[in-house]
Amino acid sequence: NRKASSEVATALKELKEKGAKKIILDLRGNPGGLLTEAVNTTNIFVDKDEVITTTKSVIEKYNKTYKTQRDPMDKEIPLAVLINGRSASASEIVSGGLQDLDRGVVIGARSFGKGLVQRPKKLTYNTQMKVTISRYYTPSGRCIQALDYWNRDEEGKAVRTKAEDYNEFTTRNGRKVYDGGGILPDVQLETSKYSGVTQALMEKNAIFDYATNYYYNHQLTQPEAFEFTDADYEDFKKFLSSSDFDYTTKTEKELKETFKIAKEEGFNDEIKSQYERLLKEIEKAKTQDLDEKKPEIVSLLTDEIIKRYFYQEGLYDYYIEENPEIIKAKEILNNSNEYNKILGRS
């Protein structure tokens, strides 16, 4: 928002007055906002006149370069930046800029990949239409946008760039970074990822609802005392069963479409039994998904439950001691050799 960079600057000043020697900037779940504030926030940690992002368009007048305008508050303090699949737009400009300038170590999972610039066009009857006019690029030249709306699948949905089609770029220190949409962290953690089953759990409010159920059935007096146990996770799976939670994988969609075509071509009887067997195997794999993706699901459950009792402030009290991303960030920040190695300084 319009106060983001000034609030970050104030927080940094207060933390340093209390003796902070290293900083963690948490952009997880940050959906973005104002471009100017993304540039100004990055400017807190990097020199004046640094290119933070550029916009490129087929229409030349929409091409623009955004540079930092002020002297930095602190361009030396060790910095870790946390991102995940819900970090988007302006927060990707911040994390991408800091990564490309080798100003901080980025930790977590690949960000969302929202790199399109829209401009509202006035229409009749006091209405507007948002028109995409350009794309965002990081200082090294990487395109932030993940979905390619020029190319679509059979259902008409935009496709993601395949890993084999990623392009290589270099940071200021010569480190290799790649495009493909979003910002790929320097250090990736399983707990930061959002797989298909995790996305489905969030979209269907299963994690939110279970956290509410947990709150009404458990006493908790302080965040540090909380632990989501294996028994709790089994209880969560029972909760899903009782709530008829289900989701459709891309494999299922493709298989059902294939069977539909097969029926149209007269192959129904020949492949029906194999089709049904495959669907059963997919259902079995989906059940296993809950166990295989346990780290990322437990991380989200923990966040939601802690907030029920202690709100956002209490969540960070818990994070400082227990959160895997913050623990990893502290570990790297407290090891100057590893920190410098990741940033290509040694």
For the segment 313-342, the average pLDDT, to the nearest whole number, is 94
pLDDT at 126: 94
Higher pLDDT, 304 or 259: 304
Query: CB neighbours of 256 closer than 8 A, spacing ≥ 6?
Result: none
Higher pLDDT, 73 or 180: 73
pLDDT score of 181 = 87
Residue of 193, 185, 181 lying closest to 149 (CA atoms)? 181
Task: Evaluate the CA torsion angle 330, 332, 333, 334 in order and state its sign.
Answer: positive
E runs forming strands in 123-165: 128-137, 147-152, 158-160
pLDDT mean across residues, the chain? 90
| Fold (topology level) of 4-188 | 2-enoyl-CoA Hydratase; Chain A, domain 1 (3.90.226)
Residue 307 pLDDT: 95
Q: Which residue bears the tokens 């939601």? A: 304
Are 35 and 90 in contact by the 8 Å Cβ rule? The answer is yes
Question: Is a pLDDT exceeding 70 seen at residue 291?
Answer: yes
The residue extents of the domains of the chain are 4-188, 193-322
Q: Is the pLDDT of residue 208 over 90?
A: yes
What pLDDT, on a 0 to 100 scale, did the predictor assign at position 252?
62
Q: How far is C-alpha 295 from the chain's CA centre?
A: 16
Convert the pLDDT of each residue in 266-275 to its tens digit.
Answer: 766 667 777 6
Kindly report, residue by residue over 29-46, the tens digit of the pLDDT: 999 999 999 999 999 999
What is the pLDDT, as a whole number, of residue 249?
61
Res. 190 pLDDT band, cuts 50 70 90: confident
Provide the residue count of the chain.
346
Q: What is the DSSP letter of 182?
A: S
DSSP secondary structure code for residue 183 in this structure: -
- Mean pLDDT for the stretch of residues 314-335: 94
Q: Name every residue whose Cβ is closer than 8 Å to that of residue 260 and which is 6 or more positions away in sequence.
A: none
pLDDT value of position 331 = 97
The 10s digit of each residue's pLDDT in 121-166 is 999 999 999 999 999 999 999 999 999 888 888 778 888 888 888 9
Once rounded to an integer, what is the mean pLDDT over residues 221-233? 92
pTM of the model: 0.84
pLDDT > 70: what percent of the chain? 92
What does the pLDDT average to over 309-328? 92
The pLDDT assigned to 247 comes to 64
The average pLDDT across 232-246 equals 87
